[in-house]
Homo-oligomer: A and B are copies of this chain.
C-alpha cells in the first residue's frame, strides 16, 4: 500500500511521516506517547519519524512541564503545505478504492476494525 509515496514524494515526504503530520493536524500538539497510542505504533517508531520531520522543518518539539515529555507541534511550513498534500493523498485514496462501492468501503472499514480490535487484546 506504499504506492502513496508516489504522490508524497513531490513534497519530500514519506507515508509514515504524513501520518504523523495528519495526526498532529487533527489533534493539535501532542506528546510522543499520545501519538504512539493514537496511531497504534511503538514509541521508537515515533522518535525516528519525528527526527526526520524535525530535520526537514515540518515539526518542532518543546519539553513540557513534565521534563520527560516532549510536546510535538506542526511548524508554519507544515501548516502551509498541509492542504495541498492532504488533497493529493485523498485523491490517491479515492483512486485506490475506486473499485469498491460506498457500501463496500463501509463494510471493509468495519471488518478491519473488528480484526484490529482482536489484535489489540493479545
Interface positions of A (Cβ within 8 A of B)? 1, 3, 95-100, 104, 107-108, 111-112, 114-115, 117-119, 122
**Residues of B contacting A112 with CB < 8 Å?**
108
Q: Tell whether, in the assembled complex, residue A118 and residue B104 are in contact, meaning their CB atoms are under 8 Å apart.
A: no
Nearest chain B CB to A88 CB, angstrom units: 15
CA distance A96 to B3 in the complex (A): 27
CB nearest to A109 among chain B residues: B111
Q: Tell whether, in the assembled complex, residue B111 and residue A98 are in contact, meaning their CB atoms are under 8 Å apart.
A: no
**Residues of B contacting A119 with CB < 8 Å?**
1, 3, 96
**Residues of B contacting A111 with CB < 8 Å?**
100, 104, 107-108, 111
Nearest chain B CB to A96 CB, angstrom units: 6
Q: Tell whether, in the assembled complex, residue A114 and residue B100 are in contact, meaning their CB atoms are under 8 Å apart.
A: yes
